[in-house]
């Protein structure tokens, strides 16, 4: 017969497990093959998008997922399912078939299915960032008054910016530092500011002198070497280029320069108590200010010192300011495409999920050094989705990957997850790592990792993954029996016969298994 679609497998699947025992999905598949009287060609037909997964296997797993969302079956553990009370009730109705229409009577399924249908393309989750472009009318008046009283503060030059899609030449002023405020939204120190805010337990107020000092210290310590170079440069030639401020005095571009100048003043050099700035007109909104800052600081790649994490956070902030990914891309003067922006936002989403997983929610600095792992993870997940991975599989995949990243798996090894997933047999062993990949409080996770290190061993999840990689390698060499036999012989000959663990139950069992394999190979080859 023709291979049934996933809806056609729903009722038989439920009938198969109605005896209320725990069933392996492999057992259900064997039963279903017999039920549908599939021949060998139908049973082994591969999905068009896969080199390893069969079409029937894929459809059966999708059927299980839909039944699970309706509450008719439950997952006992990875690959192990059981009929639920609702499933038994459904069978008592003696339905002619179970399909999507039938499942819509269950509220849990209906909610999930509706969301699934309306959320085909999921926008990456937003990461909460301070949306802080205050319109400080009082300080704006102070700046106006100062300019009026000190006409020499208006310099004989302008600074060109792009505002609302048009070139605007802004007048440049030399203003005292005490009329200006640090912009806590500045993308260059977004992750560091989040850490500072967590430490303080609140949003900082740039207009408060005590908080302003904390922000100044943060800026100076971001890159002490760069701060010193900037200090020496300002001493020699002063400002080469003006900063940009809002009409109320918030520094959009030039925060680090202001921190260095403020530091020089605190050291006793009052000549540096001024910052040259181009002042925006009043009424400029969050969208336009974001475009301005991003256009100045992100499009000039040679000047890009955001750092990779802050770069991602800046893109996300553009979303919060109300821009669409295409608008964000266009704001960067051709340096990025819409596809790249979406990919970056997706990468940030996975980083955010990872931080929550390891107990450091929103502490983005904790992802420094591993941020590129999430580029590979994004590619692995997208590939798995294209190959028909279920939503449950994706959740499991992320958990395991997050644990492996935390456990220190190098980026080049993480990429090999795709090779593990490509082999159905090895993939089932890979899922075992999920039992050792659970979100935990940060201290507990760190303690387990440290304990493994002290024992000169890998963590449980990484050990399972390493075994899977060994299996992948062995599978690729399966057509090279001589090579494998030589390796096995070498490994066996190198066993220390004086090692006490050789006599424990695990070793004895393994020797028994090895003996069975040897007998089987002898029978195959006719050797004695």
pLDDT tens digit sequence for 333-374:
556 788 888 888 888 889 989 988 888 888 888 888 888 999
Cβ atoms of 177 and 261 closer than 8 Å: yes
For the ranges 6-20, 179-193, 246-260, 420-434, the lowest mean pLDDT is seen at: 179-193
Q: Tell me the pLDDT band of 242, cut-offs 50, 70 and 90.
A: confident
Residue with tokens 């039944």: 67
Paired residues of 23 in beta bridges: 81
Task: Please state, as a whole number, how many other Cβ atoms lie within 10 Å of the Cβ of residue 282.
Answer: 11
pLDDT at 334: 55
Note the pLDDT tens digit of each residue in 52-77: 678 888 889 889 989 998 999 988 77
404-422 b/e (C-beta count within 10 Å ≥ 16 → b): bbbbebeeeebbbbebbbb
pLDDT at 134: 54
Q: Tell me the pLDDT band of 205, cut-offs 50, 70 and 90.
A: confident
DSSP secondary structure letter of residue 425 = H
pLDDT at 417: 93
Measured between alpha carbons, how far is 381 from 150 in angstroms, rounded to an integer?
Answer: 60
Distance of CA 277 to the CA centre of its chain: 38
Question: Angle CA(207)–CA(213)–CA(214) in degrees, nearest 5?
Answer: 105
Q: Which helix (H) or strand (E) holds 23?
A: strand 23-24
DSSP secondary structure letter of residue 172 = E
pLDDT at 297: 60
Q: Which helix (H) or strand (E) holds 174?
A: strand 166-176
Paired residues of 154 in beta bridges: 173
Which residues 6+ apart lie within 8 Å of 410 measured at CB? none
Measured between alpha carbons, how far is 411 from 399 in angstroms, rounded to an integer?
Answer: 16
Q: Which residue has the higher pLDDT, 285 or 200?
A: 200
* DSSP string over 198-231: HHHTS---TTSHHHHHHHHHHHHHH-HHHHHHHH
pLDDT at 127: 43
pLDDT at 49: 58
Domains of the chain in sequence order = 10-118 (1.10.10), 137-344 (no CATH), 372-476 (no CATH), 481-525 (no CATH)
DSSP secondary structure letter of residue 106 = S
Does 120 have pLDDT greater than 60? no
Relative to beta strand 243-245, strand 80-83 is unpaired
Q: Which helix (H) or strand (E) holds 403?
A: helix 391-406
116: exposed, middle or buried (Cβ count in 10 Å: 0-12, 13-18, 19+): exposed
471-483 b/e (C-beta count within 10 Å ≥ 16 → b): bbeeeeeeeeeee
Cβ atoms of 129 and 286 closer than 8 Å: no
Q: Tell me the pLDDT band of 527, cut-offs 50, 70 and 90.
A: confident
Q: Which helix (H) or strand (E) holds 143?
A: helix 137-149
Q: Which residue has the higher pLDDT, 187 or 178?
A: 178
Which residues 6+ apart lie within 8 Å of 199 measured at CB? none
Average pLDDT, the chain: 82
The mean pLDDT of 389-412, rounded to a whole number, is 89
Cβ atoms of 98 and 39 closer than 8 Å: no
Helix axes 338-357, 373-386, angle to 10 degrees: 100
Q: Based on C-alpha coordinates, what's the Rg of the chain?
A: 31
Measured between alpha carbons, how far is 495 from 501 in angstroms, rounded to an integer?
Answer: 11
Q: Tell me the pLDDT band of 125, cut-offs 50, 70 and 90.
A: very low
Note the pLDDT tens digit of each residue in 145-154: 999 999 999 9
């Amino acid at each position: 017969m023709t291979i049934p679609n996933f809806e056609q497998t729903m009722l038989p699947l439920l009938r198969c497990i109605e005896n209320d025992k725990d069933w392996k999905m492999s057992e259900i598949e064997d039963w279903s093959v017999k039920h549908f009287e599939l021949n060998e060609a139908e049973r082994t037909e591969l999905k068009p998008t896969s080199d390893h997964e069969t079409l029937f296997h894929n459809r059966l797993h999708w059927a299980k997922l839909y039944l699970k969302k309706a509450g008719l079956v439950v997952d006992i553990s990875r690959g192990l399912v059981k009929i639920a009370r609702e499933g038994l009730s459904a069978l008592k109705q003696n339905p002619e078939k179970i399909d999507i229409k039938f499942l819509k009577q269950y509220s849990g399924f209906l909610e999930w299915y509706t969301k699934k249908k309306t959320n085909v393309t999921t926008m990456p989750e937003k990461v909460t960032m301070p949306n802080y472009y205050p319109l400080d009318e009082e300080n704006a008046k102070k700046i106006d008054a100062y300019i009026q009283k000190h006409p020499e503060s208006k310099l004989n030059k302008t600074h060109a910016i792009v505002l609302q899609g048009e070139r605007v030449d802004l007048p440049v002023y030399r203003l005292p530092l005490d009329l200006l405020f640090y912009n806590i939204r500045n993308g260059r120190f977004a992750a560091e500011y989040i850490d500072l805010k967590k430490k303080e337990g609140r949003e900082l107020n740039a207009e408060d002198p005590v908080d302003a000092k904390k922000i100044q210290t943060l800026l100076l310590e971001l890159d002490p070497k760069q701060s010193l170079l900037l200090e020496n440069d300002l001493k020699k030639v002063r400002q080469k280029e003006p900063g940009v401020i809002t009409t109320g005095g918030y520094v959009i571009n030039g925060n680090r320069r202001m921190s260095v100048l403020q530091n020089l003043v605190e050291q006793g050099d009052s000549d540096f108590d001024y910052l040259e700035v181009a002042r925006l007109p009043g009424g400029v909104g969050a969208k336009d200010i974001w475009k301005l800052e991003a256009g100045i600081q992100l499009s000039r790649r040679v000047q890009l010192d955001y750092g990779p994490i802050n770069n991602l956070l800046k893109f996300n902030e553009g979303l919060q300011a109300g821009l669409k990914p295409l608008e964000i891309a266009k704001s960067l003067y051709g340096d990025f495409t819409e596809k790249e922006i979406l990919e970056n936002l997706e990468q940030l989403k996975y980083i955010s999920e990872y931080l929550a997983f390891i107990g450091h929610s929103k502490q983005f600095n904790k992802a420094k050094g591993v941020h590129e792992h999430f580029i590979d993870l994004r590619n692995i997940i997208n590939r798995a989705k294209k190959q028909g991975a279920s939503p449950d599989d994706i959740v499991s995949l992320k958990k395991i990957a997050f644990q492996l990243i935390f456990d220190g798996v190098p980026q080049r090894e993480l990429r090999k997850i795709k090779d593990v997933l490509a082999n159905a047999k090895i993939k089932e062993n890979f899922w075992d790592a999920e039992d050792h990949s659970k979100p935990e409080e940060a201290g507990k996770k760190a303690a387990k990792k440290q304990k493994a290190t002290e024992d000169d061993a890998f963590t449980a999840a990484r050990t399972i993954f390493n075994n899977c990689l060994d299996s992948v390698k062995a599978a690729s060499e399966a057509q090279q029996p001589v090579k494998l036999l030589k390796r096995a012989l070498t490994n066996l000959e190198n066993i220390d016969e004086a090692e006490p663990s050789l006599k424990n139950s695990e070793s004895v069992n393994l020797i028994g298994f090895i003996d069975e394999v040897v007998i089987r190979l002898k029978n195959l080859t006719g050797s004695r």
